[in-house]
Structure 1
Amino acid sequence: MSEPIYVPALPARWSALTAYGLLTPDVRTRVAPLWTVPPRVGGERTPGRPPLHPLDPDPAALARHTYEAFGLIARVQRDHPAWVDTCHVEREPGFPGSGAAGPPLRPVTGVERDPRQQVACAEAARSGGTGLGVRLRPTGPPDERSAEALCRLLERIAFARCPVDLLVDLGEVDEEQDAHHTALHTLNLLGPLHPWRTVVLLAGAFPRTHPEAYGAPLAETYRTDRHLPDLLRHAGHGPRPAYGDYGAHDAASADRVSDTGDDPFRGALRYTTALTFLVGEVPAETDHHLTVRALAREIVAAPDFRGAEYSEGDRWLQVCADGTGPPGTGHPDSWILAGHVQHLTHVARELRRHS
């Protein structure tokens, strides 16, 4: 396939996997996800900080959980490559190893990972012929120590002689963060260290908590990530970076066991416009279907709604608003699915239009 123009970082769960499978062929060919296998049990994990001891009490269940995720990713990707990050399960007893994913999936490592994991990823990449990704999570502009750590990792995996991708993950960004400076400094410092096959810059995200801005029940919040694609044109070294975000969810979605856990905000309808995110929170009430249809009607009536023919997510919103579909309005996973489809479609087409 041609090099991707859009790399969404998505959790390997039903909502995101199904959403990717529903993308039209013209979108799928230019979208290469970075899938993360979510944890099976426990609370939210902190990216880049592996636990000091195993957290999953059932190695056999952990193995089934991981194999199932690998199988679902491979099925939805078909022959299209994608990256697979196992950061939340790879230190647990029962983890089947990075090679279990198999081609065309590309294993992911990072400078903070156990050296044995780094070597195992390189061996899997060499045997599968897929290459591998190095995921970095800078919390600020990197320095020489960051470059030295990356060089040590590259030396450790050099034996594989395989293509390597640089995945720079800024996490959630807001208007008060100097994300542009961090992004450019990271790319300019670390980009020249290796002849990367692909360079990706991930940033942005839907809000973690329900936004207060503009109105209710359908709130609106500014897309703080929208200027980053323009910034990527000015990166000084190596291949032009591809843009990435987290689909229709916050940056920590893949660090949790499920989309619909204890956080009530995850029961929401979401829509991506050119400048903003529209978000409608659905309270956990017996007549929540009335709220869902009311929110869908607001989204469909918004001037930025792109019409039912634009994507399966837009079509779902139109049918939900009209009441012409099934009697119910589904559950939070269904709402997230619709959000992912319309978001992925919109971002991919906008990037292609401006590329």
Structure 2
Amino acid sequence: MSEPLYVPVLPARPHAVEAYRRLAPDVRAALMPLWNIPPLTAGTPAGLDAAVQRFVAPVSAAHRHHGGWIDAPFADGEQIRVLAGSLAVHSEWGRLLPVTGPERDEAQQTSALETGRRCGSGVGLRVRVPGEWDGGTAEAVRSLLTRAGPSVPVDLLLDMGEVLGDRPEADKEALRALDALVPLTAWRTAAVLGGGFPRVTADLLERGLREEPRTDWSMWHGMRTSGRAYLPLLGYGDYGVQHTGALAQVPRPNSGGGPPWGALRYTTESSYVLCKVLNRGDDRIAVNRRAARWITELPGFRARGGAGEAWLRGCADGPLTSPKGTGGPLQWLWAGHTQHLTYVARCLSGGRTGR
């Protein structure tokens, strides 16, 4: 079992793909993302296939040189057959590995295992632990491993889901799960995933610059002090700078809807920093540039961190007479993700991915 350095859990949406594309090449090489197709509402097989390709093709194009996993966690039973054929094409290219889990529909499990066996890519086993560890899950995982057989390499993706302040013992929950799961097989890789970014609401942003603790990062460090023999072999994963529930958002048509506000996001050593920005209105330019300036003036701001920091500096320093560079929802999200992914990868690698 060897480690992926960093496994970000990302939506297969334009802003996240753009963030991945904008990473420095050496930082991108340190990542192995778990991409998630959003809920799909297409009514016919042809429509469903087109919808899948719309989300997966850009992800696949961004992974010409590095690997990742591709998952469709919201697919229902009727969608699985069509999804299986669509996703297998990208797995056969050897970059996007199929994913299944012990709670998935049997047809989905079979499809993922067969794709992993046929392509030689193996399969990611996503084991969810949204609360206390259920010992019965280990038996379900054992059964799935038996079906995979020794010819299919299997990666363990222990997904803790939302890890906020109301789960102070998430590190212990993760360790109980790993104690049961690690001995089951010779896992090709293993990673622990968790989302500590808060749900962004208007109330959360009303008091200017807001700092929220990185509870997912705290969980990881709590685990590292346990002394378990398998800890050096584990990779770290998080949900980037979005709440875990963002994966389940149904894509909206580009109709100009949505709230008139958004948020700039920045990751520091111990906190997620958020600041309100405006999507429209007479004060938009001034408010957005001021928000970016507040972030660039933080003691922990890394002026030469990467593309995310460069965008924030440009927004902060731009003229009040022009809206250019003040962004919109997609730009705010990709800038936040790019900065976060770069920072976490560099922290995990101890600086080996550059400065």
Name the TM tier (shorter chain).
0.7 to 0.9
Letter in 2 for 1:95: L
Aligned twin of 2:249:
256
Is the helix fraction higher in 1 or 2? 2
> Counterparts of 1:222 and 1:106 in 2: how far apart (Å)?
32
Letter in 1 for 2:117: R
Alpha-carbon distance, 1:119 to partner: 1.4
Runs of 4+ in 1 over 4 A off after TM superposition: 211-215, 259-266
Change (3 A) 1:31 1:334: same
* Partner of residue 82 from structure 1, selected from 65, 68, 76: 68
Letter in 2 for 1:227: S
Task: Please state whether the residue corresponding to 2:286 is helix, strand or coil.
Answer: helix
> Counterparts of 1:181 and 1:238 in 2: how far apart (Å)?
13
Q: CA RMSD in A?
A: 2.6
Change (3 A) 1:213 1:328: closer
Give the unaligned 5+ runs of structure 1.
42-55
Letter in 1 for 2:166: E
Is residue 209–residue 275 contact of structure 2 (8 Å, CA) maintained in 1?
yes
Aligned twin of 1:289:
285
TM-score after normalising by structure 1: 0.87
Aligned length in residues: 338
Change (3 A) 1:201 1:74: same
Pair 1:70-2:63 in alignment:
no
Aligned twin of 1:190:
181
> Counterparts of 1:8 and 1:242 in 2: how far apart (Å)?
10
> Counterparts of 1:265 and 1:145 in 2: how far apart (Å)?
46
Aligned pairs for 1:207-218 (under 5 A) are 207-210=198-201, 216-218=207-209
Alpha-carbon distance, 1:262 to partner: 8.0
Is residue 141–residue 181 contact of structure 1 (8 Å, CA) maintained in 2?
no
Letter in 1 for 2:190: V
Pair 1:174-2:164 in alignment:
yes
Identity of counterpart residues, as a percentage? Answer: 40
Give the unaligned 5+ runs of structure 2.
none
> Counterparts of 1:81 and 1:330 in 2: how far apart (Å)?
30
> Counterparts of 2:69 and 2:196 in 1: how far apart (Å)?
19
Change (3 A) 1:265 1:281: farther
> Counterparts of 1:329 and 1:40 in 2: how far apart (Å)?
31
Aligned pairs for 1:184-333 (under 5 A) are 184-210=175-201, 216-233=207-224, 234-237=227-230, 240-258=233-251, 264=259, 267-287=262-282, 288-307=284-303, 309-323=304-318, 327-333=324-330
TM-score after normalising by structure 2: 0.87
Answer with 8-17 or 201-210: which moved more.
201-210
Aligned twin of 2:152:
162
Pair 1:139-2:135 in alignment:
no
Aligned pairs for 1:21-170 (under 5 A) are 21-41=21-41, 56-89=42-75, 91-93=77-79, 94-97=82-85, 98-102=87-91, 103-158=94-149, 161-170=151-160
> Counterparts of 2:199 and 2:350 in 1: how far apart (Å)?
29
> Counterparts of 1:265 and 1:344 in 2: how far apart (Å)?
27
> Counterparts of 1:163 and 1:106 in 2: how far apart (Å)?
11
Is residue 261–residue 279 contact of structure 2 (8 Å, CA) maintained in 1?
no
